[in-house]
């Protein structure tokens, strides 16, 4: 059942996923959520965290470094060296 409830996360944009994750963290930190609900929203939070990490990895893979000529003018781009 948790898989069904988390299916929408796989299509969620980063901003929406991070907002919902922050909301879950806040609710859990307040400590006013019943135990069963805490477990359920914690599981959803884990799925949201994984989605955010996935989207960040995809964004990092697309980042390119602009190459400049001797005069400082852009000449193109090359893959970002993540080292």
Q: Is 0.85 surpassed by the pTM of this model? A: no
Rounded to 10 deg, the angle between the 14-30 and 35-62 helix axes is 150
Residue 31 DSSP symbol: T
| Number of independent structural domains in the chain | 1
The yes-or-no verdict on residue 2 having pLDDT over 70 is no
Q: Convert the pLDDT of each residue in 26-77 to its tens digit.
A: 999 999 999 999 999 999 999 999 999 999 988 876 666 666 677 777 776 6
d(CA 71, CA 22): 45
pLDDT for residue 73: 75
Q: Which residue range is the domain that position 23 belongs to?
A: 2-79
């Amino acid at each position: 059942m948790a898989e069904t409830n988390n299916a929408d996360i796989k299509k969620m944009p980063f901003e929406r996923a991070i907002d919902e994750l922050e909301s879950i963290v806040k609710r859990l930190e307040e400590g006013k959520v019943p135990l069963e609900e805490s477990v359920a929203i914690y599981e959803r939070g884990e799925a949201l965290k994984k989605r955010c990490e996935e989207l960040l990895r995809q964004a990092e893979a697309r980042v390119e470094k602009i190459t400049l000529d001797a005069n400082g003018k852009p000449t193109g781009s090359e893959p970002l060296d993540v080292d």
